[in-house]
Amino acid sequence: AELGYKPGDLPITEGVANQCLSLPIYPEMTHDQQDYVVEQIADFFFYFAVVEPSLAHIA
């Protein structure tokens, strides 16, 4: 529902909301839906993984 707030009216709330990840979790979720959510999260972290340079060549 529209409460009449405009962007910038609640800067702290907006800042926190921009840093939170809300996952779809509810009792009626099927196992397939749960698997899909897990796969999407795993794909995100795989795609954006930071690769540390290897120190194996230093000996």
Q: What does pTM read for this prediction?
A: 0.57
Question: Looking at residue 30, what is its pLDDT?
Answer: 97
Do 23 and 37 touch, CB atoms closer than 8 A? yes
Q: How far apart are CA 24 and CA 53, in angstroms?
A: 35
Ordered by start, the domain boundaries in the chain are: 24-59
Question: Looking at residue 56, what is its pLDDT?
Answer: 64
pLDDT in tens, the chain (59 residues): 588 999 999 999 999 999 998 899 999 999 999 999 999 999 998 988 877 766 666 65
pLDDT tens digits along 37-51? 999 999 998 988 877
Rounded (10°) CA dihedral 16, 21, 22, 28:
-160
Residue 33 sits at the vertex; the CA angle it makes with 49 and 1, to the nearest 5 degrees, is 95
